[in-house]
Structure 1
Amino acid sequence: MRIRSALTALAVVLAGLVAGAGSGAAASTTMAATGSPYCGITWGSADKTAGTLSTAPLIEVRTGRQDCYDRVVFEFAGPVHGYSVGYGETWTEGEGLPLSPYTAGDELLRVSLRAPAYDAAHQGTVPYQVGEHTANVLRYPTLRDVVFGGSFEGYTTFAVGVRARLPFRILVLAGPGTHSRIVLDVAHQWQE
């Protein structure tokens, strides 16, 4: 009888230790999941869409590194405000071929700009070919690649390869001069 009582008491103690260890792990996971946003960034990673089609052509694509995020700038020769950006496979315009085999990065942002990369005479306004890498992003914390997906019926597509599924934002900026820019910022991480 004494042995059974001792074994029961030992089982209760062990069960308590196991439950306590599980609670500690859950508490630390909860703490990590609710940490401070990185650089105060609260953008999220959901799809972002706005604006309508424009006839102002794309004339330049450039990138930049900031303290808290990497940036891709799409500059147009006139006012533009339409875009759709989200995570997932990206296809070439017109042909519908996947760009993931040609784009570096663990995640892909599909960038659809609601403006052409050609002028009124249907002459290309950027020097890129479909599937071509448009920027040197060597040593960028987040960006891994920017690949041109073509332009068709007023839409222009890019596949932006990034290190991981991270928060991003889109800005539409006027200038310089009569130009406008659609800016994609991708955070370096989620939390501090």
Structure 2
Amino acid sequence: MVFDVKGATGKVGYHVGYTAKFRQSGTGDQIPVKGGAILEIVVNAPSYNPSNPAQKTYAGKPGKTLPGVDVTGYKTFRDTKFGSSIEGQTQVGLGVRTKLPFRVQQSGDKLIVDVAHTR
């Protein structure tokens, strides 16, 4: 899964890890995510214009599938859900078929979450 962090000129902060339940930042509401395991991904970049928070830069809605992302036919990915974008951080839940190794790397203004297909 690739996050396009437009305008990033240095390292993009992030946190990625498995969670038993995906909970929306700010409210704590549980968001169901399909799959055998859930990767919670938090990217230190808002999905809104910081100068004008009402202006969205990504149309994600809490608890809904990520707009423009279709995981149909993927061997490992099962589901995607938008959590929130609050205080400059954007949260996403990625459902995978089982708990698998992953790595995170940055290439330019892209943050790449690479999940293995097997253990």
Normalised TM-score (structure 2)? 0.89
Where does structure 2 lack aligned partners over 5 or more consecutive residues?
none
Q: Does 1:110 align with 2:44?
A: no
User: Percentage identity across aligned positions?
Assistant: 37
> Counterpart of 1:142?
76
Task: Write the mapping of 1:1-192 to structure 2, written as runs, cut at 5 A.
Answer: 72-79=1-8, 81-88=12-19, 89-99=21-31, 101=32, 103-119=33-49, 120-122=51-53, 123-134=55-66, 135-174=69-108, 180-190=109-119
Identify, as 1 or 2, the structure richer in helix. Answer: 1
Q: Deviations over 1:140-186 (max 9, x none)?
A: 10000111101011111000000000010101110xxxxx1111011
Offset at residue 90 of structure 1 (A): 2.3
RMSD: 1.1
Q: Which runs of 4+ in 1 moved over 2 A?
A: none
> Counterpart of 1:69?
none
Q: How many residues align?
A: 112
Where does structure 1 lack aligned partners over 5 or more consecutive residues?
1-71, 175-179
Distance across 2 between alignment mates of 1:144 and 1:171: 22
Q: Deviations over 1:10-47 (max 9, x none)?
A: xxxxxxxxxxxxxxxxxxxxxxxxxxxxxxxxxxxxxx
Identify, as 1 or 2, the structure richer in strand. Answer: 2
User: Larger Cα Rg: Structure 1 or Structure 2?
Assistant: 1
